[in-house]
Chain A
Amino acid sequence: MINLFDSAWTFIQEESHGTSHDEPAHGVAEHAAEAAHASGGLPQLDMATWPGQLFWLAVTFTVLFIFLWRMILPKIGMAIENRRDRIADDLDAAATLKLQSDESAAEYERLLTEARSKAHAMAMDNRTAVESEVAAEAADADEEIAKRQEAAEKRISEMRTAALANVRDIAIETTEAIVSELTGTKADSKAVAAAVDANGTGS
């Protein structure tokens, strides 16, 4: 290796004294081969090849840079960006929907409790209404019953009085009949009535 770099050094010195600079039209190939074979040095240090390499490097690297800068990288970046946005949007939408569903669930719960309490209140109202109605009707019925009972009792007592009055007449008639049958004479009705009254006051 040392040998190699030595020869490279001598090559550079030869080069700087410059045969090649005076004749640039010399073909790259012949020159390079000549130089490398003659000196055995690093072919990379053959300055005659440098301008051509720099030229092509400038051309290719510029083309590469412009294509990447203007066309390829924006496209890849856009694809990545779009995907990121899309995912973020989707997550947002999912969060919104979740919020909405939570709200709906809460609303549902609220409506349910409300309905339940309403139904309860309604049932309570109904019960009291029915109860009071029932009580009112019972009271009415009681009153009616009492009225009828009273009427019935009155009639019974009337009937009893009437019956009792009939009993006196029947007793008098019966007594008259018995007396007339027994004695064969017609009994004095006034005396019979007096006797009946005397014996059977009341029942």
Chain B
Amino acid sequence: MTFLLESETADAHGSGGGLDPMHQFLISPAFEGFEFPTVFGIDLTITNAAYYMIITTLVIILGLILMTGRGAMVPTRSQSIAELLYGFVADMIRGIMGEEGMKFFPYIFALFTFILVANLLGLLPGAYTFTSQIIVTFALAMISFTLVLITGFAKNGLGFLQLFAPKGLPFMMYFLIIPIEVISFISRPFSLAIRLFANMMAGHVLLKLFGGFVIMLSGLGLVGIVGAIMPLAVATAVTALELMVAFLQAYVFAVLTCIYLNDALHPSH
């Protein structure tokens, strides 16, 4: 990959710095020339990631407010879309947790739309995908995990620990099963976080690589332009695939959170 580093060719993704496919994940200030304070050791600079978190939030809030309108009896087209989204998440929760799970509806809806819009916005040229930041996905996963723990213990007390000891096994099996269950439980937030982070990162690296090939080859004259057709086709296909992945990963994150919350509601399998 060394030949791709810091080349002089134009940049496909607009985030500066040549064709290094990792460069697009770099955190940098979104507004040059503004000084942001550092409070309690936290640098409050609005970085490119923070900038897109704010944009994502605004897009969801303003978008849904505009789409919903006055909440008319006969819905407009955009209101139908908002209601479709509402129904989609509500059905997902009811399907997994039943009516009881609807108390988590605002959280699941926020989680799903936040990840979905972040993923989709990240696919725009020049945009930053903050769901490709492991710390962000891990933080979101930890919110879900903490919510599972709180719900589990608040609802079942110590009975929540039944989750680790399925009923009806031979006594000796518990020495084996309980550690396995505990480990699988603890690994949940990590799998949630890494699945989303790795998917988004891999997709964007692929896009960057093939986009880079196109630019590099087309810089070589006519032969290069002909040769660039193939990577361009691949980049296009990967973009389509990434659109699906963007939705799928948001959905998977939300569904798994629902499944884990269902465990918290009903720990005795």
Contacts and interface: CB of A to CB of B under 8 A. Distances in A.
The answer to whether A and B belong to the same complex is yes
Interface of A: 3-4, 24-25, 27-29, 32-33, 36, 40-46, 48-61, 63-65, 67-69, 71-73, 75-80, 82-83, 86
B27 A42 contact: no
- B56, B64, B71, B197: residue with the most chain A Cβ atoms closer than 10 Å: B71
A79 B68 contact: yes
Contact of A55 (B42, B75, B106, B110): B42
A11 to B, nearest CB: 12
A44 B210 CA distance: 21
Contacts of A48: 43
A53 B54 contact: no
Contact of A64 (B23, B61, B73, B135): B61
- B28, B41, B130: residue with the most chain A Cβ atoms closer than 10 Å: B28
A56 B56 CA distance: 12
B44 interface: yes
A45 to B, nearest CB: 7
B134 A28 contact: no
A4 to B, nearest CB: 7
Interface residues of chain A: helix, strand, loop or mixed (majority): helix
Interface stretch (B82-90, B93-101, B228-236): B82-90
Contacts of B105: 73
Interface residues of B, number: 54
Given A56-B54, A60-B54, A63-B57, A80 B87 contact: yes
A44 B79 contact: no
Contacts of A67: 61
B38 A79 contact: no
B42 A65 contact: no
Contacts of B45: 27-29, 52
A196 B253 CA distance: 158
B132 interface: yes
28 contacts: A3-B1, A4-B22, A24-B38, A24-B43, A25-B43, A28-B47, A29-B47, A36-B22, A44-B132, A44-B133, A44-B197, A46-B27, A50-B135, A53-B49, A55-B42, A56-B46, A57-B139, A60-B57, A61-B110, A61-B114, A64-B60, A65-B110, A68-B61, A68-B110, A73-B86, A73-B105, A73-B109, A76-B83
Contacts of A61: 53, 57, 110, 114, 140, 143
A63 B43 CA distance: 20
Given A54-B139, A82-B73, A83-B73, A33 B50 contact: no
B25 A53 contact: no
